[in-house]
Structure 1
Amino acid sequence: MSATATVPEVATSRAPAEPRRAGGRRITRRGRGHVLIRVGSVAAALALWQWLTANDIRLWLRFDTLPSVGEVLSAFAVAVQSETFHLDLAQSLVRILTGFALAAVIGVAVGVGLGRSNLFSAVFGPLTELARPIPAIAVVPVAILLFPSDEAGIVFITFLAAFFPVMVSTRHAVRALPTLWEDSVRTLGGGRIDVLVRVVLPGILPGVFGGLSVGIGVGWICVISAEMISGRLGVGYRTWQAYTIVDYPGVFVGMITIGILGFLTSGAVELLGRRVTRWLPRGEQRS
């Protein structure tokens, strides 16, 4: 009986497997199509750029003054082979990763405190709301006066830029948690630590990673701006130096490098967020 009973179960369990595999193939083909579209959009933009600059097009916008794609690629190939380029790259990465890591830790802690504690919110809430509208790049003169080195000042500006998106997203995520979850843990005898570990921290992860994704982008904007103003090394400093000596292909090399770095770091944050929150239900992405 047991063997006979398991046959329908096995057949039933195998039956829906094929549609899922077929669906997986459809998703794979769709994903490949999206990749081709993304690559094609970048290629089309480069082709348009090359055509506008090669033909000296001047339609209100003066494309005849910009370097062509070939000139920028040649300058990029030369830059990649130089030691200075790699030093600038490493310096900018150290600054952004240090400031972003501090912003992630402190921003989540402050956001949880503002969302969970009325006393903490009453003391620090007004201070954060007063400081939040101030652009981080406007704090450069204060950072120069406050910190003993330019390096520490640039890291502080990067931290400040990424801190507020992380803090605000965390605070909103904490306040949006259903009270039923906390009540359930307390009913089972859990304390404040249990609520924090089992309810608050897992529940706010999607909101936290949303803030981290925004924070890394804002951090790149401010670290590059700070390097242009008071840096000694870094991609931003080298880009501004290229502009001062009228090396426009070098300026575009810096811009492209910044874009690639921002794309990779933001993609890494989003990939980590998907891995950490893989237990959440996912809706099917529409084309």
Structure 2
Amino acid sequence: MTTVTLPEKTPAHTGRTPGRPGRRGVQPLALNIVALAAGLGGWALLSLLGFEDLPGPAQVAARGGEMIADGTLLDDVAASLRRVFSGFALGTLLAIPVGFLMGWYGVARGLIEPYVQFFRTIPPLAVIPLAIVLLGIGETPKIFVIFLAAFLSSVVATYQGVIDVDKTLINAARVLGASDLTVFVKVVIPASAPFILVGMRIGLGSAWGTLVAAELIAAQEGLGFRMQQAQLYYDLSTIFVGLITIGLLGLAMDRLLLLAERRLTGWQERR
């Protein structure tokens, strides 16, 4: 009688990762809810303790309701969204082709990279006085400052994505008879897409981070403008409403970009 010995189950057979337990992890959404509840609880506690006249969540929510009711908050959100979206869209649309040129052509890299690296060391906020002198005090300088912040983040990410494309893929495509245009469209662009989308997310954060300073330029509406006006009257509740609104809008736009990243880079191996 022949005895058949079954092979010992390996991680590949069990579907488990070596060194990790076989139980499911905590859902990220549950962790997000716990973190949000803990943050609100800590905020309310500090307010009750009278920490530097800090307004509590209920007081800020009430002020936000008042601003929504009289239309102030909605007008400010519309103005700020228009500026951020315009600057971010223009910066991204210019950064992607410039990044591709820098990464694909050595001559373009040598001509453009010094300027990109130079302006990266200059905070966009430092450009505000120059923007006012050259562009006036209308919407153009506000959008330009936001554009500059988004452009510098996106162009570096795009450039890095192009130069990091696996040379084996490029050589294999050329061996199969692909032209430079085909290699660029079929290999370089898809391989650099994750870098581009990450650069867009960083650029979006930079655009929102620059908004408040951009609205220093003779603005009459906008979240940054409203916060600066509230500062003059020590209106902390209005300042908190502006901060929270900016954070929520930025988070929503970032989630949309993250969703686009997952859809466009579904082929990429993830942990």
TM-score by length of 2: 0.87
Secondary structure of 1:228's match? coil
Q: Partner residue of 1:103?
A: 91
Say if 2:50 is the partner of 1:46. Answer: no
Question: Which aligned segments of 4 or more residues in structure 1 are displaced greater than 6 angstroms?
Answer: none
Question: 1:155 matched to which residue of 2?
Answer: 143
In the alignment, what sits opposite 1:68?
A: 56
1:129 maps to what in 2? Answer: 117
Q: CA RMSD in A?
A: 1.9
Q: Does 1:192 align with 2:192?
A: no
Matched, 1:237 2:231: no
Q: TM-score, normalised by structure 1?
A: 0.83
How many angstroms does 1:224 deviate by? 2.0
| Residue identity (%) | 32
* Greater helix proportion: 1
Gaps in structure 1 of 5+ consecutive residues: 1-18, 20-25, 57-62
Which structure's relative contact order is higher, taking Cα pairs within 8 Å and 6+ residues apart?
2
Q: Secondary structure at the match of 1:204?
A: helix
SS of residue matched to 2:234: coil
In 1: Cα distance, 2:60 partner to 2:110 partner: 53
| Residue pair 2:125, 2:214 contacting (<8 A) in 1 also | yes
Residue in structure 1 matched with residue 9 of structure 2 by the alignment: none
Question: Residue 266 of structure 2 aligns to a residue in which SS?
Answer: coil
**Preserved CA contact (<8 Å) 1:150 1:230:** yes
Whole-Å separation in 1 of the counterparts to 2:106 and 2:89: 27
* Contact kept? 1:55, 1:64, Cα under 8 Å: no
1:77 aligns with 2:65: yes
The one of 212, 237, 254 equivalent to 2:200 is: 212
Letter in 1 for 2:30: L
CA–CA separation in structure 2 for the residues paired with 1:51 and 1:149: 43
Mapping 1:156-195, distance limit 5 Å: 156-195=144-183
Tell me the alpha carbon deviations over residues 54-84 of structure 1, each in whole angstroms, 9 at most, x when there is no partner: 122xxxxxx1421122211110111122222
Report how far residue 180 of structure 1 moved: 1.6
How many pairs were matched up?
252
**Aligned residue identity for 1:86:** L
What residue in structure 2 maps to residue 221 of structure 1?
Answer: 209
Q: Determine which of 249, 274, 280 is the counterpart of 2:262.
A: 274
2:31 corresponds to which of 37, 44, 49: 37
Q: 1:40 to 1:30 in 2, by over 3 A?
A: closer
Query: Counterpart amino acid of 1:248?
Result: L
Q: State the AA in 1 paired with 2:113.
A: G
